[in-house]
């Protein structure tokens, strides 16, 4: 009997082909429109100039990240026009500050912290260290903001002078971990959210099981939050020559402090000794002019932005052209997912490919995995860990450096290392696993009168449909798989840390630890930052001081390279407020919409009803 194609499928495929063709045409039009626009812009611009005796302006915008997230068009839009994906690369900030401290043309630095976003403590500590190295040369650092949140203020506190706008405020809140809980809402709707987990501390699934945070989750969360907060208070207090108790008192009695200044939040910050000057922007400009002189053309202080400064230096900061013995750095930043992912995300296949690239390079003698991840897919985590294990078997030294978060799956991928480094304020651990699967058969029947019925050749046929009730036997099978996944996790950690599985289980159960506590528990080897880990890797590989560092990254397409290069030059030379930026904005907006839709369709296409996750919530 001849097999015949379902006509609805045939129509669907024709529609998809039509949409795909339209998408390609739109992207090409957008690309070449953007290309022409940027070429016109750059015709009048060149390499940025560094004036003698100027100030370096360091202005982080959005979250400070280990690796820029999103496709090139997203990042171009954000850099040129302040798009929705605002982010600043940590390495850019540190490299600019470090280069400027040794540059005789740079006399001072201005930290403009009005637009800094949520940033992990380890990144703030790296920036604090860079600012400290700059100040050690005798050059002044001035911090300013229209208002400070606690991320911006941490960095500002380590400047020589802290300026605040008279209309602004300094808001310190402390660290917290709150979640939204859905159980009553799901029950009212009749949605059955089936959860399979191991570990009483694995709190990522609690919103679907409870109406409040469990005592175990509160205990674990408060423990690591207190570690991070105590470190924050100690650092700020030392920088401002006060005590942690006085800063804590300012926060706890903030309403009373406001009463003493008639509600003037800026003056309350001055009275508490946390701010030096409350002045408008023109006064700040005059102060910096005193330090570095006036630019006669712009009538403000002589200055260069950190992005333009890096462009002017034109250095191979990522080691792409480095020769000789190499230490390769592979950044694993973001949620861990199966398959391939763009920069700023971790794909099991794509990140493993980067490690394999380093392993196959005869000049690479050591690999440093820089982890900044709350976890994700257990399968993808094992793909990455295994690739590192193979690299070690091939004679490569492997060292892991944990950033702000290296928990759950982020901890799993760290377990094929010769050494594991963490910051005292790294969030790590969370050795646990879970799976989830919702079924909506009851609300479909109750509210829409929709029911599902049919036949299958086995008990499992159609068992994973979300519009059918879950067979209890299938639920038992899923829990068995999750239990097995947890045992695998314990074995992976036991092997990597040279511990007994029973000993790992005692500090596992999904519990999160600070890096300081993790060191005491044997979950990490050393405390320090990325530079410390790189030096440790070079030492293990017996490279001495004669080695270079290369960041291993996914190769961009020729279109991406062109857009990236043009945008970088545009940002450095013509800025975001030019006519060119306004003309180019529609092109990037359309391109971003198409790219985002493409990404969403890809995620939908690969999604499966039940996944085993090694993940810890961080927000």
Confidence of residue 617 (pLDDT cuts 50, 70, 90): low
Does some domain include residue 305? yes
Determine what percent of the chain is predicted with pLDDT higher than 90. 75
| Helix (DSSP H) and strand (DSSP E) numbers for the chain | 22, 24
Give the tokens for residue 234.
Answer: 């100690």
pLDDT digits (tens, 9 = 90+) for 292-350: 999 999 999 999 999 999 999 999 999 999 999 999 999 999 999 999 998 889 999 99
Does some domain include residue 409? no
Residues 6+ apart with CB under 8 A from 103: 50
Confidence of residue 276 (pLDDT cuts 50, 70, 90): very high
Whether residue 235 contacts residue 247, with contact meaning beta carbons closer than 8 Å, is answered with no
Give the tokens for residue 515.
Answer: 């890096």
Cα separations in angstroms, 423 against 126, 370, 386, 406, 526: 10, 12, 24, 10, 8
Confidence of residue 563 (pLDDT cuts 50, 70, 90): low
Does some domain include residue 418? no
Say whether 202 is catalytic.
yes
97-106: average pLDDT? 97
Query: What are the start-end ranges of the H helices in 360-424?
Result: 378-393, 409-412
**Per-position DSSP letters for 223-243, written without gaps between them:** HHHHHHHHHHHHHHHHHTTS-
User: Is it the case that residue 577 has pLDDT exceeding 60?
Assistant: no
Catalytic residue among 202, 302, 365, 396: 202
pLDDT at position 326: 98
Q: Residue 492: count other Cβ atoms within 10 Å of its Cβ.
A: 24
Q: Which residues pair with 56 in a beta bridge?
A: 109, 304
495-511: average pLDDT? 96
Q: Which of 49-53, 186-190, 531-535, 609-613 has the lowest mean pLDDT?
A: 609-613
Does some domain include residue 304? yes
Q: How open is the CA angle 516-404-358, to the nearest 5 degrees? A: 110
pLDDT at position 199: 83
Q: How open is the CA angle 242-248-251, to the nearest 5 degrees? A: 115
Using DSSP, state whether 391 is helix, strand or coil. Answer: helix
User: Is it the case that residue 30 has pLDDT exceeding 80?
Assistant: no
Does some domain include residue 38? no
User: Is it the case that residue 19 has pLDDT exceeding 90?
Assistant: no
Q: How far apart are CA 253 and CA 536, in angstroms?
A: 45
Give the tokens for residue 558.
Answer: 């020729």
Q: How far apart are CA 541 and CA 68, in angstroms?
A: 29
Q: Provide the 8-state DSSP code for 136.
A: T
- Mean of per-residue pLDDT scores for the chain: 87
Does some domain include residue 264? yes
Q: How far apart are CA 320 and CA 153, in angstroms?
A: 35
**Residue 276 belongs to domain with CATH number:** 3.90.226.10
pLDDT at position 248: 97
Does some domain include residue 525? no
Whether residue 423 contacts residue 121, with contact meaning beta carbons closer than 8 Å, is answered with yes
pLDDT at position 320: 94
- More confidently predicted of 84 and 2: 84
pLDDT digits (tens, 9 = 90+) for 31-50: 556 555 555 555 445 678 99
CA 226 to chain centre: 22
Whether residue 517 contacts residue 524, with contact meaning beta carbons closer than 8 Å, is answered with no
pLDDT at position 343: 86
pLDDT at position 45: 54
Confidence of residue 575 (pLDDT cuts 50, 70, 90): very low
CA 299 to chain centre: 38
Whether residue 167 contacts residue 144, with contact meaning beta carbons closer than 8 Å, is answered with no
Confidence of residue 557 (pLDDT cuts 50, 70, 90): low
Whether residue 124 contacts residue 143, with contact meaning beta carbons closer than 8 Å, is answered with no
pLDDT at position 619: 45
Catalytic residue among 408, 417, 423, 430: 408
Say whether 430 is catalytic.
no
Whether residue 85 contacts residue 70, with contact meaning beta carbons closer than 8 Å, is answered with yes
Domain total in the chain: 1
**Per-position DSSP letters for 407-436, written without gaps between them:** ETHHHHTTSS-SEEEE-TT-EEE---EEEE
Q: Which of 129-133, 254-258, 412-416, 589-593 has the lowest mean pLDDT?
A: 589-593
User: Is it the case that residue 613 has pLDDT exceeding 80?
Assistant: no
- More confidently predicted of 10 and 178: 178
Q: How far apart are CA 105 and CA 392, in angstroms?
A: 45
Q: Residue 287 sits in which domain range? A: 54-173+243-313
Reduced to 3 DSSP states, what percent helix, strand and coil does the chain have, rounded to the nearest 5? 50, 20, 35
Q: How far apart are CA 278 and CA 265, in angstroms?
A: 10
pLDDT digits (tens, 9 = 90+) for 107-154: 999 999 999 998 999 999 999 999 999 999 999 999 999 999 999 999
User: Is it the case that residue 579 has pLDDT exceeding 70?
Assistant: no
User: Is it the case that residue 5 has pLDDT exceeding 50?
Assistant: no
Give the tokens for residue 379.
Answer: 């399968």
User: Is it the case that residue 245 has pLDDT exceeding 80?
Assistant: yes
User: Is it the case that residue 432 has pLDDT exceeding 80?
Assistant: yes
Does some domain include residue 184? no
- Dihedral angle over CA of 8, 10, 13, 14, nearest 10: -110
Confidence of residue 576 (pLDDT cuts 50, 70, 90): very low
Helix 244-252 to helix 215-239 angle (10° resolution) is 120
The pTM score is 0.84
pLDDT digits (tens, 9 = 90+) for 152-196: 999 999 999 999 999 999 999 999 999 999 999 999 999 999 999
Give the tokens for residue 490.
Answer: 């314990």
């Amino acid at each position: 009997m001849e097999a015949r194609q379902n006509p609805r499928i045939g129509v669907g495929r024709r529609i998809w082909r039509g949409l795909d063709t339209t998408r390609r045409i739109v992207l090409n039009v957008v690309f070449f429109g953007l290309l022409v626009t940027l070429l016109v812009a750059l015709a009048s611009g060149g390499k940025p100039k560094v004036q003698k005796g100027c100030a370096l302006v360091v202005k982080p915008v959005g979250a400070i990240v280990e690796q820029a997230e999103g496709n090139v068009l997203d990042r171009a839009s954000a850099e040129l026009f302040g798009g929705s994906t605002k982010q600043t690369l940590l390495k850019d900030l540190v490299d600019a500050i470090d280069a400027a401290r040794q540059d005789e043309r740079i006399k001072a630095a201005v930290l403009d912290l009005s637009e800094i976003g949520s940033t992990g403590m380890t990144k703030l500590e790296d920036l604090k260290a860079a600012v400290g190295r700059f100040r050690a040369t005798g050059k002044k650092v001035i911090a300013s903001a229209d208002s400070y949140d606690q991320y911006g203020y941490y960095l500002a506190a380590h400047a020589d002078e802290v300026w605040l706008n008279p209309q602004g405020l300094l808001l310190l809140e402390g660290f917290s971990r709150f979640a939204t809980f859905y159980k009553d809402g799901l029950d009212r709707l009749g949605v059955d959210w089936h959860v399979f987990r191991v570990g009483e501390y694995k709190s990522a699934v609690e919103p679907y099981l409870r109406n409040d945070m469990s005592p175990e989750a509160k205990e674990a969360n408060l423990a690591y939050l207190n570690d991070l907060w105590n470190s924050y208070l100690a650092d700020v207090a030392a920088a401002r020559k006060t005590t942690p108790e006085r800063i804590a008192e300012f926060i706890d009695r903030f309403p009373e402090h406001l009463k003493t200044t008639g509600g003037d939040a800026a003056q309350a910050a001055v009275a508490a000794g946390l701010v030096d000057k409350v002045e408008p922007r023109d006064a700040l400009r005059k102060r910096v002019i005193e330090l570095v002189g006036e630019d006669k053309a712009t009538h403000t202080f002589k200055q260069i932005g950190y992005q333009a400064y890096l462009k002017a230096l034109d250095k191979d900061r990522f080691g792409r052209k480095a020769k000789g013995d190499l230490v390769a750095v592979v950044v694993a930043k973001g949620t861990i997912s199966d398959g391939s992912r763009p920069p700023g995300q971790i794909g099991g296949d794509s990140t493993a490919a980067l490690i394999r690239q380093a392993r196959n390079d005869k000049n690479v003698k050591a690999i440093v995995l820089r982890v900044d991840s709350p976890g994700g897919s257990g399968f993808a985590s094992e793909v990455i860990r295994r690739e590192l294990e193979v690299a070690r078997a091939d004679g490569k030294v492997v060292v892991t450096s944990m950033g702000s978060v290296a928990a759950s799956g982020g901890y799993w991928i760290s377990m094929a290392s010769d050494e594991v480094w963490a910051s005292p304020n790294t969030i790590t651990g969370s050795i646990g696993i879970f799976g989830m699967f919702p079924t909506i058969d009851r609300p479909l029947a109750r509210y829409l009168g929709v029911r599902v019925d049919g036949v299958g050749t086995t008990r499992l046929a159609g068992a994973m449909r979300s519009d059918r009730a879950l067979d209890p036997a299938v639920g038992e099978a899923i829990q068995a798989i999750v239990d097995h996944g947890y045992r695998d996790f314990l074995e992976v950690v036991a092997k990597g840390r040279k511990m007994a599985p029973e000993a790992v289980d005692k500090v596992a159960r999904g519990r999160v630890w600070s890096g300081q506590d993790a060191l005491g528990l044997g979950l990490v080897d050393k405390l320090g930052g990325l530079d410390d880990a790189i030096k440790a890797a070079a030492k293990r590989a017996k490279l001495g001081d004669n080695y270079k560092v290369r960041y291993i990254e996914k190769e961009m397409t020729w279109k991406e390279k062109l857009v990236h290069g043009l945008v970088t030059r545009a940002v450095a030379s013509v800025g975001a407020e030019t006519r060119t930026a306004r003309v180019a904005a529609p092109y990037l907006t359309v391109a971003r919409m198409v790219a985002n839709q493409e990404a969403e369709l890809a995620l939908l296409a690969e999604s499966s009803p039940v996944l085993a996750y090694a993940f810890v919530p961080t927000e």
